[in-house]
Amino acid sequence: MDCGIFTSKTVLLFLSLVFWAAGVVLAYVGAHIIKSYDNFDSFIQDKYTLVPAAIIIGISVVMFIFGLVGCCATLRESKVGLSFFFLIITAIFAAEVAALVFSFIYKGKINADLERSMSEVFVHYDGQTTETKAVDYLQTQLLCCGVMNYTSWSNTTWSNSHNNTVPLSCCKNRTSQCPGRMDQPDLLNTQGCEVKLGQLLHDVLSYAMLVILGFAIIKFFGMLSVCVITCKTGNRRSSYQPLYA
């Protein structure tokens, strides 16, 4: 058997099988992005950063279905099936490229929106509202305090009405030994939440972009394999060669 055709068929069969694993991974990545944003949705007013996650999950669903199509087309030696599989790979490749572009664009917009939206949430902190729970969760999970740093609380209604203190969620250890006073910074998490949340969101998008890029490369080689098989079998024979003839 021609080495090029054998290699291309093997690549296509492997690509068909890897579609299911890829679908699982992409579904996990998309869900992880949505969960990360959902945890801090009170601080993110614009939902455009969820576009890459939606694209990733959509891709994962069709990959489960089309993985079966590709496997059957390869094993049954169907030219029609391979042509359809090529269109599938091309469409998914284009979607992955689109997700990469969206991720790259939106990654640069995160920091610009965070300060404004976070300041609006922090200013409504009163110890009882939904914003209060969101702020406490944020400061506890990210070990931060205030928007820029712990002194950001000095301009809030909460601090002015509570003897110039910060919420107890700013404390390193939430005990009676930490009253939340600003003149005791050694007991507080002093770093601002904007930087930490921005870094978290950047890391999530960077992770997603790497995963998408890896699978896009696989799709690219899959398209090349279909082209090699189509060209060589069209010139040399009318029937499809057995996989391991």
pLDDT digits (tens, 9 = 90+) for 110-132: 766 777 778 888 888 887 877 78
- Mean pLDDT, rounded, for 78-98: 81
Residue 187 has pLDDT above 80, yes or no: yes
- Mean pLDDT, rounded, for 194-205: 85
Q: What is the pLDDT of residue 42?
A: 63
Our measurement of the distance from residue 229's CA atom to the centroid of its chain's CA atoms, rounded to an integer in Å, reads: 35
User: Quick one: pLDDT band at residue 245, thresholds 50, 70, 90?
Assistant: very low
Q: What is the pLDDT of residue 48?
A: 60
Please state the pTM of the whole predicted model. 0.61
Buried b (16+ CB within 10 A) or exposed e, 51-89: ebbebbbebbebbeebbebbbebbeeeeeebbeebbebb
Rounded to the nearest integer, the mean pLDDT of the chain is: 78
User: Quick one: pLDDT band at residue 244, thresholds 50, 70, 90?
Assistant: very low
DSSP 50: G
- Mean pLDDT, rounded, for 34-59: 70
151-154 long-range Cβ contacts below 8 angstroms, 24+ apart: 151/182, 152/122, 152/192, 153/122, 153/182, 154/182
Do 71 and 13 meet the contact criterion of CB atoms below 8 Å apart? yes
7 or 179, higher pLDDT: 179
Percent of the chain with pLDDT over 70: 80
User: Quick one: pLDDT band at residue 32, thresholds 50, 70, 90?
Assistant: confident
101 or 45, higher pLDDT: 101
**R_g of the chain computed on alpha carbons:** 26
**Highest mean pLDDT (candidates 43-47, 134-138, 219-223):** 134-138
Do 237 and 13 meet the contact criterion of CB atoms below 8 Å apart? no
User: Quick one: pLDDT band at residue 228, thresholds 50, 70, 90?
Assistant: confident
